[in-house]
């Protein structure tokens, strides 16, 4: 998002989401899923991988979400938080480990196929169609659905009342917090089984951040499990049912948000005492 007219600012500049070989990350090319009964609802199990031919960034990292939970991934800069989430969404190919969703092994599926399987993903940046209205953004979110999605849209307007008010306005004209709501709304239009948010509060003011967290909790109350990467570790841990602290691409601490908030080592190492 730059105003410099000489710069190319199309797409979200993360070619790894959709194109093989275009970016540094190698996304999974389309494959088949296989049943994997008896596993957690969504789990990235012992994932190891990195970008391109580079060194491993994730080291046997495990992230799991159960229905009705908010799971957060926190950790210092460069810990591989976003990488772990991208690996679970198929944006980078894991060298070992598996990803399972709702009793199915989806490790071999491409990101698009995972969307069809019920993963909703909100990228960190460039996550809305800026030139299209809020309503059109939501319609595009529902593109894979051929049924009537008006009730889903009504639900999203209930969750985010401001979007209903601004539904005929181009999404690019909205404020940062409202844009994030559009982005989350767009991802919810497919009625995903799990919602993955990559730093939803990056770059918004503290007040807006609190509001966004409230909204996310509301989304979780509708029964959709949420996996979220967060910079603001303290707030994130406060709302988390389950939290993963990653350090250098490996699980350092795992527990409920409250446990980790109380954990002296976690507090000392990166909550600031």
Instruction: Note whether 240 and 70 are within 8 A (CB).
Output: yes
Question: In Å, what is the CA distance from 67 to each residue of 114, 148, 167, 173, 227?
Answer: 17, 26, 30, 35, 11
Does 186 bind another protein (CB under 8 A)? Our answer is yes
Does 200 bind another protein (CB under 8 A)? Our answer is no
Nearer to another protein by Cβ, of 71 and 183: the residue is 183
Nearer to another protein by Cβ, of 126 and 253: the residue is 126
Alpha-carbon gap, residue 154 to 141, rounded angstroms: 14
Which one of 1, 11, 218, 262 is in contact with another protein (CB under 8 A)?
Answer: 11
Which one of 90, 141, 177, 225 is in contact with another protein (CB under 8 A)?
Answer: 141
Instruction: Note whether 152 and 68 are within 8 A (CB).
Output: no
> Using H for helix, E for strand and C for coil, what is the string for 193-210?
CEEEEECCCCCCCHHHHH
Nearer to another protein by Cβ, of 149 and 244: the residue is 149
Could you tell me which stretch among 32-40, 41-49, 50-58, 109-117 binds another protein (CB under 8 A)? 109-117
User: What spatial distance separates the first Cα and last Cα of the chain, rounded to whole Å?
Assistant: 36
Does 17 bind another protein (CB under 8 A)? Our answer is yes
Q: Minimum distance between the CB of residue 145 and another protein, rounded to whole angstroms?
A: 9
Nearer to another protein by Cβ, of 141 and 177: the residue is 141
Which one of 39, 62, 82, 130 is in contact with another protein (CB under 8 A)?
Answer: 130
Instruction: Note whether 16 and 54 are within 8 A (CB).
Output: no
């Amino acid at each position: 998002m730059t105003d410099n007219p000489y710069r190319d600012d199309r797409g979200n500049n993360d070619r790894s989401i959709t194109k093989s070989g275009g970016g540094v990350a190698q996304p999974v090319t389309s494959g088949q899923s296989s049943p994997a009964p008896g596993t957690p609802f969504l789990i990235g199990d012992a994932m190891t991988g990195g970008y391109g031919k580079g060194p491993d960034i994730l080291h046997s990292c495990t992230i799991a979400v159960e229905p009705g939970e908010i799971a957060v991934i926190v950790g210092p800069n460069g810990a591989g938080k976003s990488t772990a989430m991208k690996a679970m969404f198929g944006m980078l190919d894991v060298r070992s480990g598996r990803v399972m969703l709702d009793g199915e092994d989806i490790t071999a599926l491409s990101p698009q196929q995972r969307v069809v399987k019920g993963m909703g993903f909100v990228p960190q940046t460039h996550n809305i169609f800026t030139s299209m209205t809020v309503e059109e953004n939501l319609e595009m979110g529902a593109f894979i659905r051929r049924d009537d999605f008006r009730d889903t849209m009504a639900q999203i307007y209930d969750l985010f009342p401001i979007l209903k008010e601004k539904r005929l306005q181009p999404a690019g004209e909205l404020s940062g917090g409202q844009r994030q709501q559009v982005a989350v709304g767009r991802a919810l239009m497919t009625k995903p089984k799990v919602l993955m948010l990559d730093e939803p509060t990056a770059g918004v003011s503290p007040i807006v951040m609190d509001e966004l967290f409230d909204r996310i909790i509301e989304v979780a109350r509708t029964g959709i499990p949420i996996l979220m990467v967060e910079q603001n570790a303290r707030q994130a841990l406060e709302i988390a049912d389950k939290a993963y602290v990653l350090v250098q691409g490996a699980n350092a601490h795992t527990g409920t948000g409250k446990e980790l908030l109380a954990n002296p080592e976690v507090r000392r190492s990166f909550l600031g005492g």
